[in-house]
């Protein structure tokens, strides 16, 4: 089956305290987003689709020229929310015999092993979602108070989240609302069982200056 990577990058960098959107901030010599695209380009015969807001398309072209970034990728225009951005990206895929890995553009440290395992499980079982166990104790807030819960029953959700393309496209087209927190939730609403695979604590999402510093340190360890 043809493999696609749908990389979604619509952040504004508000929590980063920067006027420059976080996906464009330089990380060890390259904008964050270029590290992410490079990670997926290691997959053989993959087609990469980058979803960006209309207002950022020209700036992205300038960055590609500045950094001599030539990894092939298509562009899809983002929507009002992440939900609509993903939907726009999915609608740009016409090949029904395919798998699509949906990934946050600001998770640049994703490993090839996790990407490939995601495709493998999705091909076999229909979907896959990278997760890691919670390292911290958890408490649940209820209406009348809060209480501890068994952290062994909880996982932190990451990306990539990989799907049979026709199935996730159908889920998005039939969704009853657009306030999902991840793509697996859209599919789950159709009654589909979600398959979890082992992610990595290194696969961080860069949203704050502290995250950027951690990513810089992790890249230097490679």
Q: What is the pTM of this model?
A: 0.95
Residue whose entry in the numeric block shows the structure tokens 């508000």: 14
Q: At residue 204, what are phi and psi to the nearest 5 degrees? A: -80, 155
Whole-angstrom distance, CA of residue 95 vs CA of residue 54: 24
Inter-residue contact 40 to 115 (CB < 8 Å):
yes
> Could you read off the pLDDT of 142-182 as tens digits, one per residue?
999 999 999 999 999 999 999 999 999 999 999 989 989 89
pLDDT at residue 18 in the model:
65
> Could you read off the pLDDT of 61-91 as tens digits, one per residue?
999 999 999 999 999 999 989 999 999 999 9
Range of the domain at 55: 2-220
Q: At residue 31, what are phi and psi to the nearest 5 degrees? A: -55, 145
Could you give the dihedral angle defined by the CA atoms of residues 186, 190, 196 and 197, in that order, rounded to the nearest 10 degrees?
-70
What is the CATH number for 23? 3.90.550.10
Judged on CB neighbours under 10 Å (0-12, 13-18, 19+), 166 is middle
For the chain, the domain total comes to 1
Whole-angstrom distance, CA of residue 8 vs CA of residue 70: 19
Q: Which long-range contacts (CB under 8 A, 24 or more apart) does 57-65 make?
A: 59/24, 60/24, 60/33, 63/24, 63/31, 63/34
């Amino acid at each position: 089956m043809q493999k696609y990577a749908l990389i979604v990058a619509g952040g504004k960098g508000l929590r980063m305290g920067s006027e420059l959107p976080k996906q464009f901030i330089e990380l060890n010599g390259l904008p964050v987003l270029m590290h992410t695209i490079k990670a997926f380009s290691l997959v053989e015969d993959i087609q990469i689709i980058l979803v960006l807001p209309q207002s950022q398309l020209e700036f992205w072209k300038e960055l590609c020229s500045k950094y001599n970034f030539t990894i092939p990728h298509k562009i899809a225009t983002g929507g009002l929310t992440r939900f609509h951005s993903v939907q726009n990206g999915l609608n740009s895929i016409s090949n029904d015999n395919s798998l699509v890995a949906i990934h946050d553009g600001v998770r640049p440290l994703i490993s090839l092993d996790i990407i490939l395992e995601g495709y493998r499980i999705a091909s076999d079982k229909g979907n896959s979602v990278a997760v890691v166990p919670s390292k911290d104790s958890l408490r649940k807030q209820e209406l009348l108070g809060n209480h501890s819960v068994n952290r062994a029953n909880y996982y932190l959700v990451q990306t990539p989240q990989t799907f049979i393309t026709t199935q996730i496209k159908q889920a998005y087209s039939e969704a009853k609302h657009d306030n999902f927190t991840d793509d697996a939730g859209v599919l789950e609403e159709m009654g589909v069982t979600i398959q979890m695979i082992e992610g990595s604590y290194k696969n961080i999402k860069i949203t704050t200056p502290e995250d950027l510093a951690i990513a810089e340190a992790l890249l230097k360890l490679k």
